Amino acid sequence: MKRWFSTACGSDKPQLSPAAGARADSFADSLKRIAQRFLHSKEGRAAVQDVYVVLGKASRGAARLALIELAIFFTPATAMAILTLVWFRRRRLSSGDAGA
């Protein structure tokens, strides 16, 4: 079993002594148990629900804002592309009439 500290450092070799590794694993397990106990409590479920509500509201606003930002960013480029196409088309039509 790989320990979390060895994979976080990108190495398969443990960089802590066995005693330090055992303490780190014990501490991580303790934190997991505390977090699970909190999340299964009434207050924990309410906190998770509040986070989901806030993230849901923020994501809708963020999507709208991103769409507005993209529109502002691409409007000048789109306008220049349209003007260029119109210019090339008029130039080709006028040069075709002059050569006939």
Which residue type, as a one-letter code, is found at position 23?
A: R
Structure-token match 């507005």, residue found: 68
Instruction: Summarize pLDDT for 10-47 with one digit per residue, the tens.
Output: 555 557 788 887 888 888 888 899 989 988 999 989 98
Distance CA 53, CA 50 (A): 5
For residue 15, tell me if it sits in a domain: yes
Task: Please report how many Cα atoms fall inside a 13 Å half-sphere around the Cα of residue 19, on the Cβ side.
Answer: 0
Q: What residues contact 2, with CB distance under 8 A and at least 6 apart?
A: 12
Total domains in the fold of the chain: 1
Mean pLDDT for the chain overall: 80
Cα distances from 63 to residues 40, 69, 76, 94, in angstroms, run: 32, 10, 21, 45
For residue 99, tell me if it sits in a domain: no
For residue 76, tell me if it sits in a domain: no
Q: Is the pLDDT of residue 63 over 60?
A: yes
